[in-house]
Structure 1
Amino acid sequence: MDNTKLYVGNLSYDMTEQELKKYFESVGEVTHAKIIFDESTSNKRSKGFGFIEMSNEENAKQAIEKLNGTEFMGRNIIVSAARPRAKKDY
């Protein structure tokens, strides 16, 4: 299991991956930032969530402790350990 990957929810729809990465760099080194976009919309609008990968487990824990529930770009963001994607039964 990868303990350095974090789920980040309730993001502003206007946020960029660079802004997300910079915000998380306040607690440690970020190796990857990804915002999920809805490919079915004409302007590929953000789905309001994404993932952050921290350089180590300690930084990931600090990010959850320090950033979960904080206000970023007018929204109180949710930060938690990322869970594996659920398998669909169809």
Structure 2
Amino acid sequence: MKLYVGKLPYRTTDQDLNDLFGQYGQVVSATIIMDRETGRSKGFGFVEMGNDEEAQNAMSQLNNSSLEGRTIIVNEAQEKRDTRGGGGFQRRDSRGGGGGGGGYRDRRY
């Protein structure tokens, strides 16, 4: 089960997250999300645990708990949705295949 962990102190590392959740079971992965431009933490991350029961226990114990003076949020991660939008049209050619949808962005000018 994958968990979302929010409102983390900005200096929290992947290892800190791994150690914290490791108290409740096997951690498969622990990742702090970093800003690409600044290289700083965005204050949230994801933890994947080996079994659902351990993940549920960690979630119930750690949600609204204090970490370095900040109250963190822990809940089940939601599947990522495509937020790019696009809004383009889907083309169909005579063979019935689908096409892109970006208009001239797909062409080189």
TM-score, with structure 2 as normaliser: 0.75
- Which residue in 2 is equivalent to 1:31? 28
2:23 alignment partner AA: S
Q: Which runs of 5+ in 1 are unaligned?
A: none
Listed one character per residue, the Cα deviations across residues 5-59 of structure 1 (whole Å, up to 9, x for unaligned) are 0000000101111111101111111111000000111xx0000000001110101
Shift of 1:71: 0.3
- Which residue in 1 is equivalent to 2:52? 57
Partners of 1:66 and 1:28 in 2: CA distance: 12
Task: Give identity over the alignment, percent.
Answer: 46
Q: Which runs of 5+ in 2 are unaligned?
A: 87-109
Matches within 5 A, 1:10-49: 10-41=7-38, 44-49=39-44
Shift of 1:73: 1.6
Which of these two proteins has the greater Rg computed from alpha carbons? Answer: 2
> CA RMSD of the aligned region, Å?
0.8
Between the two structures, name the one with larger relative contact order (CA 8 Å, sep ≥ 6): 1
Aligned to 2:79, the other structure's residue is in SS state coil
Listed one character per residue, the Cα deviations across residues 45-84 of structure 1 (whole Å, up to 9, x for unaligned) are 0000000011101011111111100001221110000001
Partners of 1:39 and 1:26 in 2: CA distance: 30
Moved over 6 A (4+): none
How many residues of Structure 1 are paired with residues of Structure 2 in the alignment? 85
Q: Which has the higher strand share?
A: 1
